Amino acid sequence: MNDFQKVYNLIGLACKGGNLVAGTEKCKKAVLSNSAKLVLLSTDCSDNTRKLFNDKCLYRDIPIAIFGTKDRLGKAVGKDYRTVLAILNEGFSREIMKLIGS
């Protein structure tokens, strides 16, 4: 199993365990409340979404990574597609960042 598949598996586990929120609005709330430990943006997200989360995460010192497509991120959490995911658990976020190389 390659590292990318391991990341998708960790995303799925985080989702099942309630340690992840998906979608722009929910992720924005998690970032603003400082409960997000890592924000994952899809590679095909819009420039506005990318700027919004870059600015908010940079200000709050929350790591952000660009990983996967909308379709793959959505499948990892059992939905059609998702542009933004926020990991709420420090352990999951550390492992995902290690695998992504951020």
Give me the domains of the chain, ranges plus CATH numbers: 3-100 (3.30.1330.30)
Which of 97, 43, 95 is closest to 72 using CA atoms?
A: 43
State the pLDDT at residue 75: 94
Q: Give the ranges where the chain is alpha helix by DSSP (H).
A: 3-16, 24-32, 47-60, 70-76, 90-100
- Asked if residues 41 and 83 have their Cβ atoms less than 8 Å apart, the reply is yes
What's the pLDDT tens digit per position in 52-102?
999 999 999 999 999 999 999 999 999 989 999 999 999 999 999 999 985
For tokens 């609005």, name the residue.
25
β 38-41/64-66 pair status: parallel
| pTM of structure | 0.94
First-to-last C-alpha distance (Å) of the chain? 20
What's the pLDDT tens digit per position in 24-64?
999 999 999 999 999 999 999 999 999 999 999 999 999 99
- Asked if residues 63 and 71 have their Cβ atoms less than 8 Å apart, the reply is no
Instruction: Give me the count of residues in the chain.
Output: 102
